[in-house]
Amino acid sequence: MPLTPTGRTRLPRPGPSLASALAATLVAALLVLLPGSTSAQAAPVLLSQGRPATASSTEGAGTPASAAVDGDNGTRWSSRFADPQWIQVDLGATARLSQVVLRWETAHARAYRIELSENGTDWTTAYSTSAGPGGVQTLDITGTARHVRVYGTQRATAWGYSLWEFQVYGTTDTGPTLPGGGDLGPNVIVFDPATPGIQARLDQVFQQQESAQFGSGRYQFLFKPGTYHGLNAQIGFYTAISGLGLSPDDTTINGDVTVDAGWFNGNATQNFWRSAENLALNPVNGTDRWAVSQAAPFRRMHVKGGLNLAPNGYGWASGGYIADSRIDGQVGNYSQQQWYTRDSSIGGWSNGVWNQVFSGTQGAPAQGFPNPPYTTLDTTPISREKPFLYLDGNDYKVFVPAKRVDARGTSWGNGVAPQGSSVPLSQFYVVKPGASAATINQALAQGLHLLFTPGVYHVDRTIEVNRPGTVVLGLGLATIIPDNGVIAMKVGDVDGVRLAGFLIDAGPINSPSLLEIGPAGTTTDHAADPTTVQDVFIRVGGAGPGRATVGMVVNNHDTIVDHTWIWRADHGDGVGWETNRSDYGFRVNGDDVLATGLFVEHFNKYDVQWNGERGRTIFFQNEKAYDAPDQAAIQNGSIKGYAAYQVADSVEVHEGWGLGSYCYYNVDPTIRQEHGFQAPVKPGVKFHDLLVVSLGGNGQYEHVINSTGAPTSGTSTVPSTLLSFP
C-alpha cells in the first residue's frame, strides 16, 4: 500500500511572539553544555517547571501562579493591578542557581528584584533593576536556594504583572562531580575472537535465563569486531547480544543466534524481553531461528541466509519486530500471529496469520490484506535508528543515528558511511546496580548521558531528563522500578532526547504514570529534532504486584515511539483485576506523534488513548484484558467495553495502518466487546487494514470500529476485517 503521509501543516497553537520563540531557542542552545572529559562539569537544567508556585495575588481564576511554571508559553500568571506583587517557586531541594528567564506579557515590571531563600521566609536579593524592558529577559544569577521569587515594585503599565513563563535554571549537584565513563560492570560480558570458552559462557547464562521469565538476572553479551566460529548463542530472558562494530558486517558469527521454546513445550507466546543487534550471521544450516513474541527486537542484523520466526514444531508465537536489518534469504513467518518489519531488506516472506505489516522494506510482499494478511507501505515517513554502543579502536562510544524521512532499506551497508554522530563513553554516567535516583539525577544535571548496565534499579524519586539531546541507553534489559508511587522517568520540553533499551516495571504503590515524555500542555515544535523512544518496555505486574494509572504518556509534539510493549500482566505474580490495576496503557496528548510498532495489552480500560492531532500508527497489536470478572466491570457508559484504540472526538486528523485487537475473556467468556477501535467520523481520520479476533470464542466483538464491521462469532478464531475506515 503506498503511504500517503498526513500533511505537516500544524493547527494553530497559542504561543509567544516570534522574537520570544527565537530568544527561547537561543537560551536553550546556550544552556547545552556537553562534558568533554571524564570529569564533566555541571550543565544548568530547568528546575522550576511543574514545581509548586504561589503568588501575592492573581487577576482571576484563569491566570494562576502555576501557569508561569507549566512549560506552556500560551498560559500565564497575572496579578492584581497594584504594587508591590510577587510570584515564587519552590524547587523542592536546594540548588546551585545560574539563570532566571522571564517571559513577560505586555504587562511587565519596570522595577523588580529576583530574590532567593532557603526556607521561603528569609530572602536575599540576587538581581534588581528599575528599568526592566519586558519581553524575554535572561538573567545570570549566582546563589544557592530552594525558593526563588520575582518581587515587583513598579509596573510598566496600568495593568498588573504578567508572566508567560518564570524559569529557573541551575543544578542540584552540590556534591563532588561524578565521573563519566569507566567499566561496564560484571553483567556485561565482552568477547573477542581469541577469548577462550565463549560457547561455555553463552550456555551458562542461557541455562540460568532460559525460563527465568520474572527473575532478576540481566545480561549483555558484546562481541568485538572480528569473526567467530561454531557458536550457537541461545538467548533467554533479559539477555541481549550485540556486535561492537559500527556496521553489522564488522562482527560475523559463523553460527547462530537462537531463540526457541523448548522451555515452554514448544509454545513461543511467552518468549519476551531479549534482543539481538548489530551482528552478521552465517547460520549453520542456512537458516537462523528467532521464535519470539513481544519485547524481543531484532535490529541492525545481517542474516546471510534465512530466518525462521517459529519455534521448533511450529507451535504458537505471538508477534515481533525487525528493523534496519538485512535477511538475504527468506523469512519464514509460519505461526507468528502478527509481525512488523521496518526499513529492512529481505529475500522474501512466507505465510502470515492475522496482520503482517511492512514499511520501508525492500523485498516485502505486495499489499494483500486480508488474504494474504499483508499491509505494505513503500516507506516509513520518519525514522531514526536506535543508539548503540560500539568500539572505535579501543574506545567505547555510542553512535546516535540521524533522522531519515521517507526511509526505505537499511541505514547501513552498500559502502555508505552511517549518518549520525558519536558520543564517547566519557560523556556517559555508567549506571550500575545500587545507584540512587539522586545520583542519577546529579549525573544528568552535570550534563552526562546515561548508560544503564544490566540490573534492577529502584528509584525513590523521578529520573528527570531535561537537557536537549540526552541519550538514556540500557544494556541487558536494565529495569527501573519506581518506589513510593513516583513516576519512574520524565522527559522535559526539549529537543532530541533518545530513550532506548530498558524496562520500567511498576511498583506496588500506584504511580500516576511510569514514563512521561514532556510536560502537559506544551506548545513547542520538536519536528526538526524529535524525541525517540525505542525498545522501551512498560510492565505492570507479573514480577510482583504493580499499579499505575497510565503506562506511558506522550505530551511532546513530534515524538517517535519506535517499538514498545506496554503490558499489564495476564500471568505471573501479583496479577488480578484489582491487584495490578492499570486503567490506561498509552496516552498521546502531543501533536504529530508517530508510533511504529505499537504493542499494548490487557489494560483495565482503554489500552490506547490518542488526543493529539495528526497522529500516525504503523502496526498495532493488542489483547484486551483477559481477567475482566464480568460485563459490568468493563462497561463504558452505554458502550460494551473500552476500545483497544480510541481516538478522541476532538481530533481532526489521524491515520493508522495494520491494526489488530484480540479478546480472550477467560474469566467470563460471555463478555461482549462493542468494538476494538473507536474514532470520530471525520474526513481526516483514516484507518487501513483493521481486524478484531475472538480467541477460541472467549468473548466476542460486535464490530471492528465504532458500529462498522462484522461481529466475530463462534470458537474458530477467525478475524473480522475491515479494509478502510471511514
- pLDDT digit string (tens) for 233-263? 999 999 999 999 999 999 999 999 999 999 9
DSSP letter string over 652-683? --EEEEEEEEEE---S-TT-EES-SEE----T
Q: Which residues are catalytic?
A: 623
pLDDT attached to residue 36: 34
pTM of the model: 0.81
Mean pLDDT of 365-387: 98
pLDDT attached to residue 121: 81
* Closest CA relative to residue 299, chosen from 342, 239, 349: 342
Determine how β-strand 162-171 pairs with β-strand 188-191.
unpaired
- The grid coordinates of residue 149 equal 521569587
Letter string b/e over residues 632-657, b meaning 16 or more CB atoms within 10 A of that residue's CB: ebbeeeeebbbbbbbbbeebebbbbb
Tell me the CA end-to-end span of the chain in Å, nearest whole number: 17
Q: How many C-alpha atoms does 640 have within 13 Å on its Cβ side?
A: 16
What distance in Å separates the CA atoms of residue 119 and residue 136, rounded to the nearest whole number? Answer: 28
| CA distances (Å), origin 284, targets 46, 230, 307, 346, 484 | 54, 8, 12, 19, 50
**Length of the chain in residues, anyone?**
726
Determine how β-strand 403-407 pairs with β-strand 395-401.
unpaired
What distance in Å separates the CA atoms of residue 419 and residue 671, rounded to the nearest whole number? Answer: 51
pLDDT attached to residue 4: 31
Percent of the chain scoring above 70 in pLDDT: 94
What distance in Å separates the CA atoms of residue 590 and residue 417, rounded to the nearest whole number? Answer: 34
Lowest mean pLDDT among 2-16, 78-92, 482-496, 681-695: 2-16
Give counts: helices (H), strands (E), the chain: 3, 52
pLDDT attached to residue 327: 98
Determine how β-strand 594-601 pairs with β-strand 615-623.
parallel
Mean pLDDT of 680-707: 98
* Closest CA relative to residue 373, chosen from 407, 408, 336: 336
Do residues 187 and 452 touch, judged by C-beta distance below 8 A?
no
* Closest CA relative to residue 359, chosen from 33, 51, 595, 618: 618
Hey, is 554 helix, strand or coil? strand
pLDDT attached to residue 447: 87
* Closest CA relative to residue 378, chosen from 713, 699, 3: 3
* Closest CA relative to residue 493, chosen from 115, 74, 139: 74
Mean pLDDT of 380-390: 98
Residue 492 has pLDDT above 50, yes or no: yes
Residue 23 has pLDDT above 50, yes or no: no
Chain centroid to Cα 367, Å, comes to 29
- pLDDT digit string (tens) for 534-558? 999 999 999 999 999 999 999 999 9
What distance in Å separates the CA atoms of residue 520 and residue 493, rounded to the nearest whole number? Answer: 9
What distance in Å separates the CA atoms of residue 43 and residue 497, rounded to the nearest whole number? Answer: 16
H-helix or E-strand spanning residue 330: strand 326-332
| CA distances (Å), origin 90, targets 60, 102, 104, 265, 486 | 22, 16, 20, 57, 18
pLDDT attached to residue 704: 98
- pLDDT digit string (tens) for 177-219? 899 999 999 999 999 999 999 999 999 999 999 999 999 999 9
Mean pLDDT of 437-451: 92
DSSP state of 366: P
Mean pLDDT of 259-279: 97
What distance in Å separates the CA atoms of residue 529 and residue 29, rounded to the nearest whole number? Answer: 13
- pLDDT digit string (tens) for 307-326? 999 999 999 999 999 999 99
Hey, is 152 helix, strand or coil? strand
Q: Which residues pair with 9 in a beta bridge?
A: none
User: What is the residue-averaged pLDDT of the chain?
Assistant: 92
Q: What is the dihedral of CA 370, 373, 377, 382, to 10 degrees?
A: 110
Do residues 535 and 500 touch, judged by C-beta distance below 8 A?
yes
Residue 35 has pLDDT above 70, yes or no: no
- pLDDT digit string (tens) for 597-643? 999 999 999 999 999 999 999 999 999 999 999 999 999 999 999 99
Q: What is the dihedral of CA 337, 340, 345, 350, to 10 degrees?
A: 20
Determine how β-strand 53-55 pairs with β-strand 85-104.
antiparallel
Residue 20 has pLDDT above 60, yes or no: no
Cis before 14 (ω within 30): no
What distance in Å separates the CA atoms of residue 157 and residue 351, rounded to the nearest whole number? Answer: 72
Q: What is the dihedral of CA 224, 226, 231, 236, to 10 degrees?
A: 30
Burial of 155 (0-12, 13-18, 19+ CB in 10 A): buried
Looking at residue 573, its amino acid is D
| CA distances (Å), origin 667, targets 625, 628, 633, 699, 719 | 10, 7, 12, 10, 21
pLDDT attached to residue 14: 33
pLDDT attached to residue 26: 37
Cβ within 8 Å of residue 322, ≥6 positions away: 297, 298, 299, 301, 331, 339, 340, 341, 342, 344
Do residues 211 and 195 touch, judged by C-beta distance below 8 A?
no
pLDDT attached to residue 43: 65
What distance in Å separates the CA atoms of residue 227 and residue 217, rounded to the nearest whole number? Answer: 28
Do residues 53 and 114 touch, judged by C-beta distance below 8 A?
no
- pLDDT digit string (tens) for 97-125? 999 999 999 999 999 999 998 888 878 88
Residue 9 has pLDDT above 70, yes or no: no
pLDDT attached to residue 3: 35
Looking at residue 532, its amino acid is T
pLDDT attached to residue 175: 63
Q: Read off the pLDDT band of 29 (50, 70, 90).
A: very low
pLDDT attached to residue 96: 86
Kindly tell me the sign of the dihedral angle through the C-alpha atoms of 342, 343, 347, 348.
Answer: positive
Burial of 284 (0-12, 13-18, 19+ CB in 10 A): middle
pLDDT attached to residue 446: 85
Burial of 289 (0-12, 13-18, 19+ CB in 10 A): buried
Determine how β-strand 320-323 pairs with β-strand 345-350.
unpaired
Compare 128 and 703 and report the one with higher pLDDT: 703
pLDDT attached to residue 6: 32
